[in-house]
Amino acid sequence: MLDILRRATRSVDQAEVYWLRETTMTCSFQSGNLEYVRHGRRSSTALRVIANGRMGAAFGESPEQRELLADATSAAKLGSHVPYGFASETPSLAADAVDPHTAVLSIDNLVGAAHEINQHIRRLAPDADPQVMCAVTTRALRIATSEGMDAEESSTQHVFRIILPFADRGTDIGAYGLALGTNWSPPSRAWLAELVEQRTWGTGPSLPVTGKLPALLSPQVSNLLLIPLIAGISGQTVAQATSPLRDKIGKPLLSSNLTVREDPICPALAHPRSFDDEGIACQPRNLIDRGMLTSYVTDLRSAFQLGQSSTGNAVRRTLFSQNIDDVPMPSVLGAVIEPGDMSYRELIAGMGDGLLVTFVRGLHSGNLVHGDFSVLVDGFRVRNGRIKGYLAKTMISGNIYDVFRHVRALSQETEATAQGALNVSALAPYILLDSVRVTVG
């Protein structure tokens, strides 16, 4: 048992330590030149205590900081009443999330990989001005409680983000690629060649007409579905009666073509994990089964409010931030959208007139809990099954419980994704929607 927990048992009812250590290396190339190299380390700790039935918290760099316990105990005097306790059972470690090769990479390895990507793209497209970012993170998370739970899990992650600006747009928009995972694997030449081809699709702007059009969402745009869905199935919003999905378990919600699983230990995810941020074991299960809602996601607090056990979905974050001092709240840890049986190129060829959406901006501005969205999009115009230029000044809007009720097809290709600021791992295919409302201006 950590020393701080031993001391805590003498003065408070219960205590919980969350201790995160991370090392991150990042490099970036711009216009063929090394733009920056960064190497950072951080250790951060959150201590929560329950004293006389009230919750208090304190934050620092390490559990060894003597003042943490006194600060958390003082905070508990003004804290909220807590009718539940911290985790008492140590979860099994199921995720194989450490790649020994990734764990020992140097910054020279990253710079060399990014430089080679930059050079290869320039061989394929001499006029290209690629932006190449590469990052590697090693992470160790330990959560322990005075109730006997003590679990530690390490992970590695690499990220390659590549933007190939269109010829007439400077560095504004272009073909966008994101490759990430736990095992060090720079993008293949075939993957880079496809990205270079997508850049040629953007020979100029092509404005769609205002109205309703089919839309093919790339895997990286699956957050258009997942982020509002997470807000809707959160035990917090369900318990507060602010979710439109209250009392919807077992009822049709989305297209029967959609099955969304939560599989936090799936090795194909960018960040697999075995337990949540309260030390509760993660539970692989269906969230949406052929369009039907099958489960909510809960942390300790919302599970108590709903009269259930925690589903192991506590994450220290708010919807669009992640900090050590964020209160744990329910979220999805490893969303897997089941793929279809057609290639994404076949979906483009068969969609007629519509949009291929590769990036969205402004998702936070909608009423996410109720599924409303209105976002600016990057991507391409599709006419008669062929791509005809890039999108400019184009927005799409709607409600996910309307537009995702009509999913025409899904691709057989899937990609690991990080859901923007939400930083929740997912695995998603291309999703072809029957229609979204398009506004051009």
Q: What is the DSSP string of 290-325?
A: TTEE---B--HHHHHHHTS---S-EEESBTTB--TT
DSSP code of residue 279: S
| Residues 323, 392 within the same domain | yes
* pLDDT given for residue 167 in this prediction: 78
* Shared domain check, 246 and 127: no
**Are 174 and 241 found together in one domain?**
no
CATH code, domain carrying 61: 3.30.2290.10
Residues 285, 419, single domain; the answer is yes
Q: What is the tally of structural domains in the chain?
A: 2
**Tokens (6 digits) for 326:** 């964020």
182 and 157 Cβ atoms separated by less than 8 Å: yes
Q: Are residues 128 and 252 in the same domain?
A: no
Q: Calculate the alpha carbon distances from 134 to 6, 219, 286, 355, 422 in Å.
A: 42, 20, 33, 29, 20
The last residue of a domain, from among 199, 228, 259: 199
What percentage of the chain reaches a pLDDT higher than 70?
96
So what's the pLDDT on residue 171? Answer: 56
Q: Coil, strand or helix: which one is 109?
A: helix
Do 333 and 436 reside in the same domain of the chain?
yes
- pLDDT for 62: 94
pLDDT tens by residue, 279-338: 999 989 999 999 999 999 999 999 999 999 999 999 987 555 567 777 899 999 999 999
Pair 84, 23: CB distance under 8 Å: no
- Based on the domain organization, do 256 and 369 belong to the same domain? yes
CA 245, distance to chain mean position in Å, is: 22
The secondary structure of 198-209 as a DSSP string is HHHH-SSB-PPP
- Residue 169 pLDDT: 63
Greatest pairwise CA separation for the chain in angstroms: 73
The rounded radius of gyration (Å) of the Cα atoms in the chain is 23
Nearest Cα to Cα of residue 331 among 386, 292, 277? 277
Exposure pattern of 267-306 as b/e (b: 16+ CB <10 Å)? eebbbbbbbbbbbbbbbeebbbbebbbbbbbbbbbbbbbe
pLDDT value at residue 193: 97
Domain end (from 199, 233, 250): 199
CA 193 – CA 125 distance, rounded (Å): 9
Q: Which structural domain range is residue 191 located in?
A: 3-199
- Report pLDDT for 255: 98
Cα separation of 14 and 56, whole Å? Answer: 11
The low-confidence residues of the chain, meaning pLDDT below 70, are: 95-96, 168-172, 318-322, 419-424
Q: Are residues 282 and 384 in the same domain?
A: yes
Q: Are residues 180 and 208 in the same domain?
A: no
